[in-house]
């Protein structure tokens, strides 16, 4: 099987002409047969689309900028509206609606997680001879150890399993959520520094004759907005708002860890055989309710989150975290492999589900006949040479009450709650989704709506809605058959339900 890999984006921000991009010499698509590439996925959390230096931000990110300017930028790459579905898409190569993970996120008292019959990316890479490591935020199940990363294909895990923790105490509602390979540890240190230290140690100790996969899942810049004072002081003269100053310091801290990872690879002589993928789970929050896990107003304020002060910027894109519009799901994405990928900008529509099949193709991972079919595509040809997206359509997400789908230049957003709403946007002319052209193109609406409904018929019942009948109220319970009316899972401010030794 011929190895291949993944996708990157936009022309305007880079300042290159279309002619310059098209004239770039195409790389040799096949990596050297004797070695499989190391693969590192760096996932930011709630990163604003416009909040990186290379995208024109006042936030300084020299190391991420270097990856972007020296790699492939995917400017039409899509995550999911919120954290848990995005991570499910990345880890399985399948749309989260197939796992019942399409709605919101796993709350601290929820007991569900990524179904254990799903084959994960680290499991597939282990089958190809890879060592597999994860540092940072999991958020795919915490209440049962069988959901934990080290039981889902990772040889080593260091970090937290619930959605968010204090960056210094590593606790949620007073409960410690910080572990190394299943053992809870109470240690001092800033979240980004600690996972950066762990990532560097992993690279330094990795045998050169064995390929490795490292999933670096940053909590930053997700709320609570917290950073060391020295990081905030770097922006004292350039950013007046204190919350955005902290937010900027968090992103700069993430950038520092990216630089440390690249330096460690260089020092081990591994850089030429390592693909680095940088992305985010969703766009920056434009609502206080989704910025900090739907906490109470008092808790959000304590986390530095108010509706009046939302530090993330998605630029000209409409909406933010939690939304089906581009500000919620279009995420800055970079594929960087200097030895194999010349710099370019790719504007073809792509999705987080594509990372798994692309990585598997690069790793020459063996097929598993028992594995569920993937929704993602191998996008290496799109990333490496700018070929057309392999997708006929891309499901942004589908739930019981809303959904969105992309086909080529067109995007349909459907709100099913009565009286309902149907929006059609031409993303090629209107990436900010300002003009609804549904009435002008009824045939396009009919095509995309048919595709969305076909996806909707394939979705499993939402695990979040099943766990939250009391949250929805009496009317919410009527959405389900009686066997879906299970005990309420509680609100986000409750203590995490974590197994203890």
Give the position of tokens 């490496």.
Answer: 384
Give the pairing type, strands 212-217 and 183-184. unpaired
| 382 φψ region: left (φ > 0), alpha (ψ -120 to 50), beta (else) | alpha
Marked catalytic residue, from 110, 139, 325, 351 = 139
Can you read off the two tokens belonging to residue 139?
């958020």
d(CA 139, CA 87): 8
How many angstroms separate the most distant Cα atoms in the chain?
Answer: 61
A 10 A CB-CB count for 298 gives 9
Residue 256 near residue 192 (C-beta atoms within 8 A) = yes
Residue from 419, 418, 424 nearest 452 by CA: 424
DSSP 3-state of 184: strand
d(CA 71, CA 334): 7
Is 139 among the catalytic positions? yes
Phi, psi (degrees; rounded to nearest 5) at 51: -100, 40
Residue from 286, 247, 197, 190 nearest 51 by CA: 247
Residue 299 near residue 63 (C-beta atoms within 8 A) = no
Can you read off the two tokens belonging to residue 375?
């929704």
A 10 A CB-CB count for 326 gives 30
Cis bond before residue 224 (omega within 30° of 0): yes
Crossing angle (nearest 10°) for helices 355-363 and 83-92: 30
Q: Strand runs (DSSP E) across 57-211, as ranges?
A: 72-74, 77-78, 131-137, 156-160, 171-172, 175-176, 179-180, 183-184
What distance lies between CA 159 and its chain's CA centroid? Answer: 17
d(CA 55, CA 91): 27
d(CA 72, CA 74): 6
Marked catalytic residue, from 83, 170, 325, 351 = 83
Is 13 among the catalytic positions? no
d(CA 407, CA 175): 44
Can you read off the two tokens belonging to residue 320?
């933010």
Give the position of tokens 């996925």.
Answer: 41
Catalytic residue positions, numbered: 83, 139
């Amino acid at each position: 099987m011929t190895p291949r890999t993944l996708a990157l984006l936009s022309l305007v921000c880079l300042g290159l002409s279309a002619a310059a991009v098209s004239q770039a010499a195409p790389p040799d698509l096949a990596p050297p047969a004797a070695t499989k590439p190391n693969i590192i996925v760096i996932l930011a959390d709630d990163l604003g689309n416009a909040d990186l230096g290379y995208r024109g931000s006042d936030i300084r990110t020299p190391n991420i900028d270097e990856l972007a300017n020296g790699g492939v930028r995917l400017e039409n790459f899509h995550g999911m509206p919120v954290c848990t579905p995005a991570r499910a898409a990345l880890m399985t190569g399948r749309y989260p609606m197939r796992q019942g993970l399409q709605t919101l996120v796993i709350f601290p008292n929820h007991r569900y997680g990524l179904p254990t019959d799903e084959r994960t990316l680290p499991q597939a890479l282990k089958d190809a001879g890879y060592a597999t490591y994860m540092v940072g935020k999991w958020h795919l199940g915490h209440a049962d150890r069988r959901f934990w990363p080290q039981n889902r294909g990772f040889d080593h895990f260091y970090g937290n399993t619930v959605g968010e923790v204090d960056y210094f105490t590593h606790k949620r509602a007073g409960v410690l959520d910080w572990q190394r390979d299943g053992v809870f540890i109470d240690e001092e240190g800033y979240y980004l520094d600690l996972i950066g230290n762990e990532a560097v140690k992993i690279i330094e100790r990795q045998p050169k004759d064995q390929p490795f996969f490292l999933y670096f899942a940053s909590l930053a810049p997700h709320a609570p907005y917290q950073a060391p004072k020295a990081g905030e002081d770097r922006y004292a003269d350039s950013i007046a708002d204190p919350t955005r100053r902290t937010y900027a310091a968090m992103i700069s801290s993430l950038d520092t860890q990216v630089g440390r990872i690249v330096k460690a690879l260089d020092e081990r002589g591994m850089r030429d055989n390592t693909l680095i993928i940088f992305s985010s789970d969703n766009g920056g929050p434009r609502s206080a309710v989704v910025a900090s896990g739907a906490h109470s107003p008092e808790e959000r304020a304590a986390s530095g989150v108010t509706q009046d002060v939302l530090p993330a910027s998605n630029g000209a894109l409409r909406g933010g975290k939690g939304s089906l519009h581009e500000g919620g799901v279009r995420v800055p994405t970079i594929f960087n492999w200097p030895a194999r990928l010349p710099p370019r900008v790719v504007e073809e529509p792509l999705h987080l589900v594509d990372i798994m099949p692309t990585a598997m193709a690069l790793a020459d991972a063996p097929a598993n006949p028992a594995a569920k079919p993937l929704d993602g595509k191998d996008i290496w040809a799109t990333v490496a040479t700018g070929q057309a997206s392999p997708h006929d359509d891309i499901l942004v997400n589908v739930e019981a009450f809303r959904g969105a789908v992309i086909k080529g230049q067109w995007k349909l957003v459907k709100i099913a709650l009565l009286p309902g709403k149907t929006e059609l946007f031409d993303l090629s002319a209107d990436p900010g989704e300002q003009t609804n052209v549904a009435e002008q193109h009824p045939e396009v609406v009919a095509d995309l709506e048919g595709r969305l409904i076909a996806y909707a018929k394939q979705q499993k019942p939402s695990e979040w809605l099943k766990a939250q009948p009391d949250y929805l109220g009496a009317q919410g319970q009527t959405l389900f058959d009686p066997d879906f009316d299970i005990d309420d899972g509680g609100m986000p401010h409750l203590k995490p339900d974590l197994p203890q030794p």
